[in-house]
Structures are given as structure tokens and as C-alpha cells.
């Protein structure tokens, strides 16, 4: 594959990601990263901050910044692990559960608000393809 084709593909992926992320964030009222953290905690229950960083594949310092914002807004609780004071345990507040439910309900009522010209099957195929690429990069 020629380098120009490869870099063109990377550029187009970045542009699409930026547009979709902005549309998502405008519609949902959350940054995509913070929303993903909240959904992860909703699905997994309380987690160590380091586990969130591992799941998100982002720098622990970046997770710390996101956690601080989510805590300030009342979405999460933080506490030190009694067995290891260096570890921080993160959990969702009742307010976060309510807000996530509202987001989900709002999306169901306004599915067309995030314009996307692909079927669910096409999106699932894209997810599978991206997962395969990710596996090859590890």
C-alpha cells in the first residue's frame, strides 16, 4: 500500500471521528470520554481509577481530570481503598444513574437527532472491522 493512501485513510478516519464526536457531545450534553466512563461504571459497578484508565486506553492523568470534573458535577463518588490508600475507588451517584437514564430515553425519543446514514447492521460490521484492526495493532 502506498503511504499516501494510508495517510489519506488516517486523515479521513480522524475527520469522521471528530464530526461524529462533536455531534454526539452536542446531542447528549456529555463529552464522549466522560459518557463512556459513566457507562462503564454503570455496567461494571464501582471500579478502581486505574481500571477505568485501562478500559479507556487513556493516560491515568487524563482519567484523573475527567474524574475530577465528573465528581464536581455530582456524577461520581470517590473514596480511598481501605486496603491500599494509593488506590481510588470510583462509583456512580444516584444523580448519574438518573442522568444516564434521561440520555437513553432522550435518544430513544429522538433517534434521528444524531444523523447517521447507516443501518445498525452496517454499524455492527464497522465495529467488527475496527475490532479486528485493533487486535492486529496489539
Domain count, the chain: 1
Of 114 and 62, the one with more pLDDT: 62
CATH at residue 43: 1.10.10.10
Tens of pLDDT, residues 52-108? 999 999 999 999 999 999 999 999 999 998 999 899 999 999 999 999 998 888 777
- In this structure, of 24-33, 94-103, 104-113, 125-134, the range with the lowest mean pLDDT score is 104-113
Relative orientation angle of helices 94-109 and 3-28, to the nearest 10 degrees: 110
**Owning domain of residue 14:** 3-137
- Identify the pLDDT of residue 138: 76
Number of H helices, E strands in the chain: 6, 3
- Identify the pLDDT of residue 33: 95
CA atoms within 13 A on the CB side of 6: 3
**Residue of 103, 105, 128 lying closest to 38 (CA atoms):** 103
- Identify the pLDDT of residue 112: 61
User: Please, which pLDDT band fits residue 117 given cuts at 50, 70 and 90?
Assistant: low
**Where are the strands (E) in 21-105, listed by range?**
47-48, 76-80, 88-92
Count of C-beta atoms within a 10 Å radius of residue 26 = 10
pTM of the model: 0.81
Amino acid at each position: 500500500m502506498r503511504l499516501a493512501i494510508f495517510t489519506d485513510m488516517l486523515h479521513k478516519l480522524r475527520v469522521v471521528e471528530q464530526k461524529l464526536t462533536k455531534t454526539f457531545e452536542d446531542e447528549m450534553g456529555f463529552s464522549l470520554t466522560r459518557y463512556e466512563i459513566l457507562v462503564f461504571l454503570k455496567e461494571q459497578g464501582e471500579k478502581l481509577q486505574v481500571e477505568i484508565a485501562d478500559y479507556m486506553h487513556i493516560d491515568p492523568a487524563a482519567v484523573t481530570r475527567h474524574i475530577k470534573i465528573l465528581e464536581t458535577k455530582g456524577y461520581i463518588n470517590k473514596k480511598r481503598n481501605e486496603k491500599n490508600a494509593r488506590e481510588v475507588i470510583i462509583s456512580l451517584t444516584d444523580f448519574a444513574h438518573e442522568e444516564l437514564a434521561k440520555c437513553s430515553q432522550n435518544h430513544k425519543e429522538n433517534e434521528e437527532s444524531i444523523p447517521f446514514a447507516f443501518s445498525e447492521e452496517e454499524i455492527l460490521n464497522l465495529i467488527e472491522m475496527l475490532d479486528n484492526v485493533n487486535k492486529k495493532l496489539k
